[in-house]
Amino acid sequence: MALATDAPRPDLTPLSTRDPRSAGPYRLLGRLGQGGQGVVYLGVDGGDRQVAVKMLSIDLEHDPKAKARFGKEIAAARRVAAFCTAQVLHADLDAEQPYVASEFIEGPTLHRQVRDRGPIAGNALYRLAVGTATALAAIHQAGIVHCDMKPDNVILGLDGPRVIDFGIARALGTHTLTGNVMGTVPYMAPERFQNTDVGPSCDVFGWAATIAFAASGRGPFGHDSLATVMARVLHEPPDLANLSGPLLEIVQESLAKDQHARPTAEQLLLRLLGHATRSAPEISLGTALREGSDAATTVLPAPVGPGSGTATVTAPALPATAPALPSTASEQATVAVPVPAPTRVAPAPVGWARRLGRQAGDPIGISAAIVLGAGGFAAGYVASTDTGTAATIGAAAFGAVYAVRLVLAAALDRGTEQDPSGR
């Protein structure tokens, strides 16, 4: 349990006049960061326990369905077993500004660690893989899809890696609107862009991309424009030059374009722990989670001096099948993968007939057709002075304009069906 101290924190931004001073029972001390979902503050409860409080930048008050969906996701997140995750402690969706309070983990994000000190190698990298796979297995066991597995959502704590923000990305799906999908492009699985079969396997893809970043300092599909990275994710093989041995094989399988060819998080964890290659009886997921959590202890590489990239630290021994990966050069340049604004996963598009039906009653289209039809009537009357002819011309103009507008609007309609589950 992290307790509040008076020591200054270099990663904490003082509160401004516009920042709140409290959130429910939590007193806020400063800003930890800000993203597409809201601002994250460091807070303390009545017992001086430190917590991370995320003030959500959404309006749930006027969207009961979204509020119910969010509540369901947060309730599931609170059931996630405490294996290599930051536990969700409390949420208040009825507050003037909704917030979620989670366990505060002291340490840098994986993204910052690699950016500042270089890639991670050897046993430290393997322990990172085990710890994050353990977290994913625990998250999926609770019925949650993270939907935003990336280096910025992995904290390298003193007791190993912790995965954060699980459940929040999916819960905010219809509210963080900067595109058609929600997530971070360099770590998103191909099916996320196609809006098909989005499920736990997309987290496995994000896990593999995160491990590739940790090993090299760059994403496996580069760090160019979003369109270029997206095309590589969909059609090109990943760059895994800094990986080798069993870990390379597992990461390659987890980055398969076909989500059905990827291992599950549980299979991933068992293979990393060496159980998939042993003749011993199959172990339970609970046992695997405990083993994975123990093996991931002390994953943070310790700096050995100015300019040094990584150093392996003492930690519990891994199974015999865990490889000793080659260390990368301490001088290796690192590149921070750009983190685009979150975008949401859209459900599957509706069919042509449904889109025609949806556009048929559009009041704007009908109004435009009426106006142009009236114009046709007036023009016909001026030309012929015969009301019958003018009415025919007006009706024809109305029908033509309405039909053309209906077909074009239906063709351009990229709307989707409402998810019957309400998620």
Least confident of 106-110, 224-228, 353-357: 353-357
Predicted confidence at residue 168, as pLDDT, reads: 65
Q: Are residues 267 and 405 in the same domain?
A: no
Contacts of 342 (CB under 8 A, 6+ apart): 35, 36, 37, 148, 169, 172, 176, 178, 182, 183, 184
Q: Are residues 200 and 275 in the same domain?
A: yes
148 is catalytic: yes
Predicted confidence at residue 255, as pLDDT, reads: 97
Can you point out the beta strands (E) in 160-258? 160-163
Nearest Cα residue to 155 out of 110, 101, 116, 204 = 110
Instruction: Choose one of 103, 134, 157: the last residue of a domain.
Output: 103
Q: Which of 63, 148, 224, 294 is catalytic?
A: 148
**Residue 389 has which token pair?**
């002819």
Predicted confidence at residue 214, as pLDDT, reads: 96
Q: Give the angle 224-225-229 at the CA atoms, nearest 5°.
A: 70
**What is the rounded distance in angstroms from the CA atom of residue 180 to the CA atom of residue 174?**
10
Query: Is 314 inside any structural domain?
Result: no
CATH of the domain at 204: 1.10.510.10
Q: pLDDT of 156-205, one tens digit each?
A: 988 889 998 876 655 555 333 333 445 688 899 998 887 777 789 999 99
Cα–Cα distances in Å, from 35 out to 31, 32, 78, 307? 12, 10, 22, 30
Quick check: 36 pLDDT over 80? no
Quick check: 136 pLDDT over 90? yes
Predicted confidence at residue 321, as pLDDT, reads: 38
Predicted confidence at residue 285, as pLDDT, reads: 83
**What is the rounded distance in angstroms from the CA atom of residue 95 to the CA atom of residue 38?**
15
Instruction: Choose one of 67, 83, 103: the last residue of a domain.
Output: 103
Predicted confidence at residue 422, as pLDDT, reads: 37
Predicted confidence at residue 375, as pLDDT, reads: 65
Q: Are residues 127 and 205 in the same domain?
A: yes
**What is the rounded distance in angstroms from the CA atom of residue 123 to the CA atom of residue 311?**
10
Least confident of 144-153, 269-278, 392-401: 392-401
The pTM for the full model equals: 0.66
Quick check: 66 pLDDT over 70? yes
Give the H/E segment covering residue 155: strand 154-157
More confident residue, 299 or 396: 396
231 burial (CB, 10 Å; 0-12 / 13-18 / 19+) is middle
Predicted confidence at residue 346, as pLDDT, reads: 37
Work out the percent of the chain whose per-residue pLDDT is above 90.
34
129 burial (CB, 10 Å; 0-12 / 13-18 / 19+) is buried
| 332: confidence class by pLDDT, cuts 50, 70, 90 | very low
DSSP per-residue codes, 214-240: HHHSS-TT-SS-HHHHHHHHHHS----
Predicted confidence at residue 275, as pLDDT, reads: 83
Q: Are residues 54 and 177 in the same domain?
A: no
Quick check: 345 pLDDT over 70? no
Query: Is 5 inside any structural domain?
Result: no
**What is the rounded distance in angstroms from the CA atom of residue 144 to the CA atom of residue 79?**
10
Query: Is 150 inside any structural domain?
Result: yes
Quick check: 43 pLDDT over 90? yes
Q: Which DSSP category does 335 fall into? A: -
Predicted confidence at residue 307, as pLDDT, reads: 35
Predicted confidence at residue 367, as pLDDT, reads: 63
Predicted confidence at residue 218, as pLDDT, reads: 92
Q: Are residues 186 and 245 in the same domain?
A: yes
More confident residue, 224 or 208: 208
What is the extent of the structural domain holding 289? 110-295
Least confident of 235-244, 300-309, 323-332: 323-332
Query: Is 17 inside any structural domain?
Result: no
Instruction: Choose one of 103, 131, 152: the last residue of a domain.
Output: 103
Query: Is 284 inside any structural domain?
Result: yes
**What is the rounded distance in angstroms from the CA atom of residue 196 to the CA atom of residue 178?**
19
Query: Is 277 inside any structural domain?
Result: yes
| 371: confidence class by pLDDT, cuts 50, 70, 90 | low
Q: Are residues 43 and 114 in the same domain?
A: no
Q: Are residues 86 and 141 in the same domain?
A: no
Query: Is 387 inside any structural domain?
Result: yes
Query: Is 14 inside any structural domain?
Result: no
| 266: confidence class by pLDDT, cuts 50, 70, 90 | very high
Q: pLDDT of 284-323, one tens digit each?
A: 888 888 888 888 874 433 333 333 333 333 333 444 334 3
Note whether 84 and 161 are within 8 A (CB). Answer: yes
CATH of the domain at 67: 3.30.200.20
Quick check: 337 pLDDT over 80? no
Instruction: Provide mean pLDDT across the span 364-369.
Output: 60
Question: What total of structural domains would you count in the chain?
Answer: 3
Q: Are residues 153 and 287 in the same domain?
A: yes
Least confident of 15-19, 207-211, 389-393: 389-393
Predicted confidence at residue 177, as pLDDT, reads: 33
Region class of 37: left (phi > 0), else alpha (psi between -120 and 50), else beta: alpha
